[in-house]
């Protein structure tokens, strides 16, 4: 059985679906989609459906492709469930943008539910292994993440336009926007706003550097 988050607005193109199975008295849950508004309620419903004999809950987060700050509430629900039922809970195998958000807020990227080290400090992420260039790239990516969270509504609309115009997936549309931002040296919010405005008949054409960056990104990510 799976649980799915309701679409909070007509601009949403992805839902969170939580699949899973029981392995003896251990629940293995597999969220797929995005941790956005409504995701905590979806998890709460799924946890409430678990058999009474459940003695452990493990979440494989590898299928989660985007997370905003609502995803932190998702983790709170899982943590509270473990405390109320006195059972171990984990959320592991984070990757991509959700992992970056965990880094940004100082949580353990291996398992953000893991208790912090003595003294209250979170387990630090390992340092970039290839010097200042790699560190600088990480800083740029985190800054883009901050912009993405703040500009989520306009980015959602831009992703929807790209998906409808080019028949691509939500993940691909996100990569196109992010790469166009990098190539043009323009903020992610600005790129998304240009895509949205350019889709209207009377909308202004995006700046030339943004158009060129979008064309390059689309050529790279679409067949």
Which residues pair with residue 121 across a beta bridge? none
Say yes or no to pLDDT of 209 above 80. Answer: yes
The range of the structural domain enclosing residue 167 comes to 131-221
Number of separate domains in the chain = 2
SS3 content of the chain, % helix, strand, coil (to 5): 50, 15, 35
Nearest to 186 by CA among 149, 167, 214: 214
| Residue 99, in any domain of the structure | yes
More confident residue, 34 or 13: 34
**pLDDT tens-digit profile of 144-202?**
666 656 666 788 888 888 888 888 888 788 889 889 988 998 887 888 888 887 766 55
Residues 142 and 94 in one domain: no
Q: 47 or 210, which is more confident?
A: 47
My answer on whether 22 and 86 are in the same domain is: yes
pLDDT at 132: 52
pTM: 0.56
Please give the average per-residue pLDDT across 1-12, as a whole number.
Answer: 46
Q: What's the confidence (pLDDT) of residue 125? A: 43
Q: What CATH number does the domain containing 12 carry?
A: 3.30.750.24
Q: What is the pLDDT of residues 7-19, one digit of tens each?
A: 443 344 457 999 9
Cβ distance 32 to 66 under 8 Å?
no
Whether the Cβ atoms of residue 86 and residue 56 lie closer than 8 Å to each other: no
């Amino acid at each position: 059985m799976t649980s799915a988050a309701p679409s909070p607005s007509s601009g949403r193109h992805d839902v969170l679906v939580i699949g899973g199975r029981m392995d003896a008295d251990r629940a293995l849950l597999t969220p797929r989609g995005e941790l956005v508004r409504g995701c905590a309620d979806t998890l709460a419903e799924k946890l409430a459906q678990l058999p009474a004999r459940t003695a452990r809950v493990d979440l494989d987060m590898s299928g989660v492709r985007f997370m905003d700050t609502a995803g932190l509430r998702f983790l709170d629900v899982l943590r509270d469930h473990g405390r109320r039922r006195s059972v171990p809970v984990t959320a592991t195998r984070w990757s991509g943008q959700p992992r970056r958000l965990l880094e940004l807020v100082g949580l353990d990227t291996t398992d953000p539910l893991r208790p912090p080290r003595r003294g209250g400090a979170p387990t630090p992420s390992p340092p970039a292994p290839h010097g200042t260039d790699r560190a600088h790239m990480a800083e740029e990516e985190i800054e883009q993440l901050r912009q993405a969270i703040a500009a989520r509504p306009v980015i959602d609309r831009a992703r929807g336009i790209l998906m409808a115009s080019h028949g691509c997936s939500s993940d691909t549309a996100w990569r196109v926007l992010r790469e166009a931002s990098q190539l043009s040296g323009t903020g992610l919010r600005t790129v998304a706003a240009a895509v949205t405005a350019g889709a209207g008949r009377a909308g202004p054409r995006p700046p030339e550097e943004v158009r060129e960056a979008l064309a390059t990104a689309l050529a790279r990510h679409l067949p």
